[in-house]
Amino acid sequence: MLTIQHTEEDLSRAYVQAIAAKAGVNLSMKDRSHDYTIDGTFHQVSYFNGHYHETGFSLDFQLKASKNCIIGDTHLRYDLDIETHNYLVDRAQKSGTTPVILIVMALPEAESEWLSLSEEELVLRRCCYWVYLSGERSKNARTQRIEISRQNFLTPNLLNKVLTAVEKGETPS
């Protein structure tokens, strides 16, 4: 039987895979044997000359899942491990790199509410939110509390808008 943390991770991966599929975006998820802070990459796809092609524009992501998120009226609060936080803000300062976002899956507190299914539907409770971290490294020892706007609810349309921003050379926001 998987640990709770691995179950949370697998559910977040399933959510991201479903969103990418509906968005028409090619998704590569990292092999679990080598995780160097990047869990996957969204690759923009377009139709050109009668064929679909990757455009060459992509967006990396780090994926987290937790039942311990604090969901407020306007923001989600999450305690991110300090190593990941500092990696993401350091990377944001480097020019020429593929942009990287943090995706957080906010799960219900009760495991029994995470997933339900029938012959008619598969329901994964709650959702993922994303943020592009930039700014200063944290001097905290273990975690950095981050806030993610609830407007950054990860949907197929929003994913395509972020990839379009990357294509234009804009910072994901």
Residue spans of the domains in the chain: they are 4-167
Are residues 84 and 27 in contact, defined by beta-carbon separation less than 8 angstroms? no
For residue 34, the model assigns a pLDDT of 61
Q: Which SS3 state, helix, strand or coil, does residue 88 take?
A: helix
For residue 44, the model assigns a pLDDT of 95
For residue 173, the model assigns a pLDDT of 81
pTM for this model (two decimals): 0.93
Contacts of 167 (CB under 8 A, 6+ apart): 44, 55, 57
For residue 36, the model assigns a pLDDT of 73
For residue 100, the model assigns a pLDDT of 96
In order of 73, 86, 147, the CA distances from 151 in angstroms are: 11, 24, 12
Q: What's the topology of domain 4-167?
A: Trna Endonuclease; Chain: A, domain 1 (3.40.1350)
Q: Which SS3 state, helix, strand or coil, does residue 87 take?
A: helix
DSSP-derived pairing of the beta strands 127-131 and 100-106: antiparallel
For residue 33, the model assigns a pLDDT of 57
Contacts of 68 (CB under 8 A, 6+ apart): 78, 79
pLDDT in single tens digits along all 173 residues of the chain: 888 888 999 999 999 999 999 999 999 997 655 667 899 999 999 998 899 999 999 999 999 999 999 999 999 999 999 999 999 999 999 988 999 999 999 999 998 999 999 999 988 889 999 999 999 999 999 999 999 999 999 999 999 999 999 999 998 88
